[in-house]
Amino acid sequence: MRYAVFVTGPAGAGKSTFCTSFATHLQTSRRAAHIVNLDPAATGDAFEYEPAIDIRELVTLEDVMSEMGMGPNGGLVYCFEYLLQNMDWLEEELGGYDNDYLIVDCPGQIELYTHHPFLPSLVRNLQRMGIRTCAVYLLESQFMEDRYKFFSGVLSAMSAMVNLEVPWINIMSKMDLVSPTPSSSSSDPSTGPRNGKRARRDVARYLDPDPLLLANARDGHDKFRERENERFHELNRAIVQLIEDHPLVSFLPLDLSSTDSLEVVVSHIDLTLQYGEDEEPKEPHDLDEGDFADME
Ligand X SMILES: Nc1nc2c(ncn2[C@@H]2O[C@H](COP(=O)(O)OP(=O)(O)OP(=O)(O)O)[C@@H](O)[C@H]2O)c(=O)[nH]1
Instruction: Return residues touching ligand X (CB under 6 A).
Output: 9, 11-17, 108, 173-174, 176-177, 256
Contact 107, 19 (CB under 8 A): no
Q: Show the DSSP H helices in 11-71 as ranges.
A: 15-28, 61-68
Least distance (Å) from ligand X to the CB of residue 177?
A: 5
44: amino acid identity, one letter: G
164/214 with CB nearer ligand X: 164
11/293 with CB nearer ligand X: 11
110/164 with CB nearer ligand X: 110
Q: Which burial class, exposed, middle or buried, applies to 198 when counting CB atoms under 10 A from its CB (0-12, 13-18, 19+)?
A: buried
CA angle in degrees (0–180, nearest 5) for 75-170-211: 110
36/213 with CB nearer ligand X: 36
104/256 with CB nearer ligand X: 256
Least distance (Å) from ligand X to the CB of residue 153?
A: 13
Contact 205, 213 (CB under 8 A): yes
Beta bridge partners, 34, equal 102
Least distance (Å) from ligand X to the CB of residue 189?
A: 22
CA angle in degrees (0–180, nearest 5) for 82-88-91: 115
Number of other CB atoms surrounding residue 245 within 10 Å: 9
CA torsion 77→81→84→85, rounded to 10°? Answer: -160
Beta bridge partners, 169, equal 136
- What residue number has its CB nearest to ligand X? 108
83/214 with CB nearer ligand X: 83
CA–CA separation, 153 and 9 (whole Å): 9
Among 24, 57, 23, 18, residue whose Cα is nearest residue 38: 57
Least distance (Å) from ligand X to the CB of residue 69?
A: 24
Least distance (Å) from ligand X to the CB of residue 264?
A: 14
CA angle in degrees (0–180, nearest 5) for 13-264-157: 35
Least distance (Å) from ligand X to the CB of residue 15?
A: 4
51/211 with CB nearer ligand X: 51
Least distance (Å) from ligand X to the CB of residue 121?
A: 21
